A and B are shown apart, each in its own frame.
Chain A
Amino acid sequence: MAVNYLDFEEPIVDLEAKIDELRELSGKDGVDFTSEIKKLHRKVNRLRKDTFSKLTPWQRTRLARHQLRPYALDYINHMTTGFVELHGDRLFGDGVSIVGGFARFEGQSVMVIGQQKGRDLKERSFRNFGMAHPEGYRKAVRLMKLAEKFNRPIITLLDTPGAYPGVGAEERGQSEAIARSMMEMAVLRVPVICVVIGEGGSGGALALGVGNRMLMMENAVYSVITPEGCAAILWKSCDKLEEASEALRLTARDLLGFGLIDEIVKEPLGGAHRDPVATASILRRAIRRNLEHFRDLSPEAIVSHREKKFREMGVFA
């Protein structure tokens, strides 16, 4: 497992390597290291608990971007059956940084839409690093309206560094696509549950984040700007990432405190990538519980619940 770890995990990884070493030796020379191994196990667990209970916001940001972290399609595969991916915005293209389609979730058909990153080099560039073009957002709106037409709840999974800042994206109206998506989502007559599964990157994430409920994975982040962008603009320095991510208050716990999200979804110790199947199962139960709130509400009540939720956002004197 030690292929991919973050620097603050190094002591943990070192200890785990030592355990492996001892285990190997244990059988060979007839020496029994069982008690040492047990001791080290306890130590590594303590260390992990300790490390992960006091992650800095920047460490958490890097965990949220972890290369092995489950992505939208992983969750879709683990949480649903019968997923049929639907493609295209009917205007220009497919917008492959966003995936979506009908799926069976806890016995009912739903529309699930997610921002998709790639794991290897090839897929990462195919998915444009999870940074959608306007056609991705327009496809998402089309699918959400399709869900509304057939009275299916909508689940959106947010995980993007942000909407793509490129020439084609600007030419095809990136801002218009994002703006329209938010406006259309606000009035969908079916329940919408949104989950930040990794990186909630500014407007690019919010474009799919206007829901009745906003859930956030324990190690996900959600922010108005990336710590990199914030540091570059306000600190005029690329290495003030700790300070910028601290100041932005982008962790799930901060945002729950502000009332900007509704619920934190627990992850296994060490992060979602340590056990994607278990994580998906925790999330599945959380989404089901949240969907149940809206089962008996009328379409009007669902819309006004969502409108009220966003109408009340903001603090001033």
Chain B
Amino acid sequence: MSWFTKVKKPLEAIALRKRIPEGVWRKCESCKEIIYSIELERNFNVCSKCGHHHRISAESRIKLLIDENTFKEEDEGLVPVDPLKFRDSRKYKDRISDAQKKTGNKEAIIAGSGLIENRPVEIAAFNFDFMGGSMGSVVGEKVTRTFERALSNKRPAIVVSCSGGARMQEGLFSLMQMAKTAAAVGRLSKAGLPYISVLVDPVTGGVTASFAMLGDIIVAEPGALICFAGPRVIEQTIGKKLPEGFQRSEFLLQHGFVDIVVNRLELKSTIALLLDHMCGQIVCPLPEPEQDEEAEAGPEEQAL
């Protein structure tokens, strides 16, 4: 038998396997279990076997949190520019247009207004797929405007952060977004309006160290990496391996920097409940118990 005839068989097998359309099955990043894609999506990308929270896009995040057909996008026209004419191995401009093509978004964040179980809110959600959700001028501006809309419309603000931090390619302009957004949180807070910061895997650097850590209430999804300096940087600095679970949501909860860790599927109802507690209608004074009820109860009690 010649070498060439031998090769034929496995080729056929590959061709056969290819008949199954791509993307029907997905492997869980944590437990490696093979899951039916549609099932995973229906579960908002939470693994039904191990509960691992896979990353979701900004659009899916809005869909998860905002009542159907109530989301109205704002500031979608804001696009990044290249003030530094930044270029490393590639031009910043090219990186932007690649990210825009890849995600269909103009920037790493979507902002707007909508209802959460009928409660009007201003919301912004990061898209990690757009340059690691990094914060440049546009992201900083959209976050700031979200707080400002909340302020002028007297509504709660919700920001779902998922970001690698400040965007290097915009240099100090990016850094200044930290101060700009932090100051905007301060103005909202002074007006007595609530801000819920939702942290999802990962939130690092300049985003953690500004508005993300300044929520009246900070909610985190399970297992999310939330830190100032990333684990690799710390390992390099201290020359030691970091323990399992370091800088994860549960670790921050334990150290007092997160209020609650909430499963993605309960995120919406939890936020709705929190909003009620902070700014739901106040019924005051509490209604007196009805007279006749008391009269009825009276003799029965005596009889007992």
Contact = CB atoms under 8 A, between A and B. Distances in A.
Interface in A133-184: 163-167, 169-176, 178-180, 182-184
A210 B168 contact: no
Interface residues of B, number: 59
A183 to B, nearest CB: 4
Interface in B227-269: 227-229, 233-234, 237-238, 242, 246-247, 255-257
A165 B229 contact: yes
B81 A316 contact: yes
B209 A223 contact: no
A315 interface: yes
Interface residues of A, number: 52
B80 interface: yes
Contacts of A260: 172-173, 176
B180 A311 contact: yes
A233 B232 CA distance: 12
Nearest to B207: A175
A244 B246 CA distance: 31
Contacts of A186: 179, 182-183, 186
Contacts of B212: 175, 179
Contacts of B175: 202-203, 206, 223-224
Given A165-B234, A210-B179, A174 B229 contact: yes
Contacts of B184: 311
A304 to B, nearest CB: 11
Given A175-B228, A182-B183, A170 B141 contact: no
A182 B137 contact: no
Contact of B234 (A167, A175, A258): A167
B256 to A, nearest CB: 8
B84 A225 contact: no
Nearest to B210: A179
Interface in B110-151: 136-138, 140-141, 144
Interface in B196-216: 205-206, 208-214
Contacts of A206: 175-176, 178-179
Given A165-B234, A167-B246, A186-B186, A179 B214 contact: yes
Contacts of A317: 78-81
A119 interface: no
A230 B140 CA distance: 21
Please provide the 10 A-B residue pairs with the shortest distance between their CB atoms, ordered closest to farther: A165-B229, A314-B137, A186-B183, A175-B208, A234-B88, A313-B176, A175-B209, A182-B182, A174-B228, A175-B228
